[in-house]
Structure 1
Amino acid sequence: MGRIFDPVSLRLFIAVCEERNIARAAAREALVASAVSKRMAMLEADVGTPLLVRGRRGIEPTPAGETLLRRAREMLSLMARAHAELSEFQGGVVGNVRIVASVSALASGLPGDVACFLEAHPRLRVSLTERVGTEVVREVREGTADLGVVWDEVNTGQLVAQHYRHDRLGVLMPHDHPLAAQASVSLLETLAHPAVSVAPGGLLDGLLRRHAALAGATWMPRLEVASFEAAEHIVHAGLGLAIVPIGVTGDAAGALVCRPLSEDWAHRRLVVVSRTDDWLPAPARALRDHLLPRT
């Protein structure tokens, strides 16, 4: 092996493996494709074995490439963490924790829990970013985030997942909707009314389709939107109802209500995900422990 791995080549290698295409990886990193190809050739020459091969789905890592991909993510993560933690000493802050969380987690009280933690640890800094469930897991796995908070329906793989809170799905609708007078609503009752799907193809959409099918029906929303906020606007316009985690939307100045779904599966479990303690800095471990329910 001729040289020590440089961060630029490792970042480009990760991009090629994730994009499965030299041109897309180059565009992602704002480079020309020939420069990326040259870097990959140099990397393989340094390692002394093929790292990439063209497969049915595009460029794929070889077994050696899989090993390098895993280690490259770890190395870049450690470098980024070291840079971030050392730079914090310039401002007198002795730790930085990065959290990524789903919108459901943010609505469940996570910001308040983080604020409480910071009151007791004023010299720490916490960044809190919204992500969809699969992105939460990916960022924690790759080390770009220390902690994630997400619905446990997400496949967390080898990450450590610990119970945080519960939430519940509800039916968002205008206050004069025929179902609004009920204390709770079943999924089957909603199917007789126009509906809007949030993040089609996502975990919530898949859950609703699955349980509708188990009940011998079909979940066929009239409209599809990308966010809970957009769903709220659609519902407020009278175009359909939406099934959302209770608390993630406002009430549009009193024009909307959110009635809980009556089924047991509508009660969901949120978890804190992290890598093992060997990979967690002390501030991240302290915040994770603060978030876990007291036993």
Structure 2
Amino acid sequence: MWQIDQMSLRLFIAVCEEGTIARAAEREFIAPSAVSKRLADLETLVGTALLSRSQRGVRATAAGEALLKHARLIMLDHERLQAELSEYAAGGRGHVRVLANVSSMVEFLPEVLSRFLQANPGVRVDVEERTSADIVRGLEEGAADIGICRDFVSTRELDVTTYRSDHLALVVPKDHPLAGAPAIGFVQTLDLNHLGLSSNASVNALMQRIAAEKGRELSYRAYVSTFDAAYRFIQAGLAVAILPREAVNPQVRQQYGLEVIPLAEAWAERRFVICVRDRAALTLPAARLIEHLMATR
């Protein structure tokens, strides 16, 4: 039975992620020739081609994709082992990797993590922004310990805990005729020029479907990729937008001169969930972070 050493797995992962041996070598601080030798030995060991090489770089073969999936899990488990042993040796130290969607990053996660890190100075938390569907895939592939995403995506075999909610609202400039309204129905907004947020693709699709069911059309005047850009477009009077009201906090409202009108629709409330592959297998820092998240809802 053949065995693959961790260095070979690390280099194989780096090559797959970087797309070229040169970039992988630079990332891992090793000579390209040494990387090539490791990969050649690895393919000889397993008896099949793991990489497809071309002038544009390298990519994993079908066998390589299988190895990549397991290699990431092996490296993650090794990192978890080191982190947990370090915790027992030094007390409260470790590393947690989190995948989170853009709404959580804008609405609450920075403040929640700040309090956690103040209480746990020996823990390092790496956060990567992804779409909800990508968060599920990333957890399944072992790319992170914890995921924060929407509840509408299929979480398959993951361990899922309902976390918190946010609420969609119509955001307008403070001098807009609708500013100050206590609430508004979605259909009432369809005569307005809307601003689309690319990270809200699922919400955009939902609203377009609902508009079509009402025999109407949702008109997007422009699309932007960030909440900050959306605030600026609305401030300039170019369009209105349906955004989570939690993302338009009092400071944002004051800075950009915005008004938030609650959307009087049952579907305006949306839920976040916390996902992990196996809660029982979490490192102590990751388990502590989940406890902190749940305690600060």
Deviations 1:197-234 (A, max 9, x none): 11168333333333333333333311111111110011
Question: Cα offset for 1:66?
Answer: 4.3
Matched residues in 2 for 1:270 and 1:10: separation? 33
Higher helix share: 2
| Structure 2 SS opposite 1:253 | helix
- In the other structure, the counterpart of 2:284 is 282
Question: Residues 29, 221 of structure 1: CA spacing in aligned structure 2 closer, same or farther, 3 A cutoff?
Answer: farther
CA distance in 2 between partners of 1:183 and 1:169 (Å):
14
Contact 1:95 1:123 in 2 (8 A): no
Assess, with a 3 A threshold, how the Cα gap between structure 1 residues 208 and 39 changes in structure 2: closer, same or farther.
farther
Distance 1:207 1:27 in 2: 44
What is the CA–CA distance in structure 2 between the aligned matches of 1:164 and 1:13, rounded to whole Å? Answer: 33
Distance 1:35 1:95 in 2: 31
Q: How far apart in 2 are the matches of 1:27 and 1:213?
A: 51
SS of structure 1 residue aligned to 2:76 = helix
- Corresponding residue for residue 226 of structure 1: 225
Q: Decide whether aligned partners of structure 1 residues 293 and 186 sit closer, same or farther in structure 2, where only a CA change above 3 A counts.
A: farther
Q: SS where residue 29 of structure 1 aligns?
A: helix
248-257 or 32-41: bigger deviation: 32-41
Q: Which amino acid aligns with 2:129?
A: R
Aligned residues: 284
- Residues 83 and 95 of structure 2 are in contact (CA less than 8 Å); yes or no, is this contact kept in structure 1? yes
Q: Could you tell me which residue of structure 2 aligns to residue 193 of structure 1?
A: 192
Report the counterpart of residue 137 of structure 1 in structure 2: 136
Report the CA distance shift for 1:210/1:4 in structure 2 as closer, same or farther (over 3 A). same
Q: How does 1:118-197 map to 2 (within 5 A)?
A: 122=120, 125=123, 127=125, 129=127, 131-134=129-132, 135-197=134-196
Inter-partner Cα distance in structure 2 for 1:183 and 1:208: 21
How far has the Cα of 1:264 moved from its partner? 1.1
Distance 1:53 1:166, change over 3 A: same
- Pairing 1:251–2:253 present: yes
| Structure 2 residues not aligned, in runs of 5+ | none
**Alpha-carbon distance in 1 for matches of 2:10, 2:161:** 32
Shift of 1:98: 3.2
Change over 3 Å in CA distance of 1:194–1:59 after alignment to 2: same
Task: Say whether residues 1:29 and 2:29 are aligned partners.
Answer: no
Q: Is the 8 A contact 1:154 1:203 kept in 2?
A: no
Shift of 1:284: 1.8
> What's the TM-score, normalizing by structure 1?
0.77
Larger mean CA deviation between 165-174 and 245-254 belongs to: 245-254
Distance 1:237 1:89, change over 3 A: farther
Gaps of 5+ in 1: none
Aligned to 1:12: 12
- Give 1:109 shift: 4.0
Compute the displacement of 1:242 (Å).
Answer: 1.4
Across the aligned residues of Structure 1 and Structure 2, the Cα RMSD in angstroms comes to 3.7
Indicate if the aligned counterparts of 2:173 and 2:237 stay in contact, CA closer than 8 A. yes
Q: Does the CA contact (< 8 Å) of 1:236 and 1:252 recur in 2?
A: no
Of stretches 82-91 and 7-16 in structure 1, the one that deviates more from structure 2 is 82-91
Counterpart in 1 of 2:269?
267
Cα 1:50/1:217, change in 2 over 3 Å? farther
TM-score (norm 2): 0.76
Distance 1:5 1:167 in 2: 46
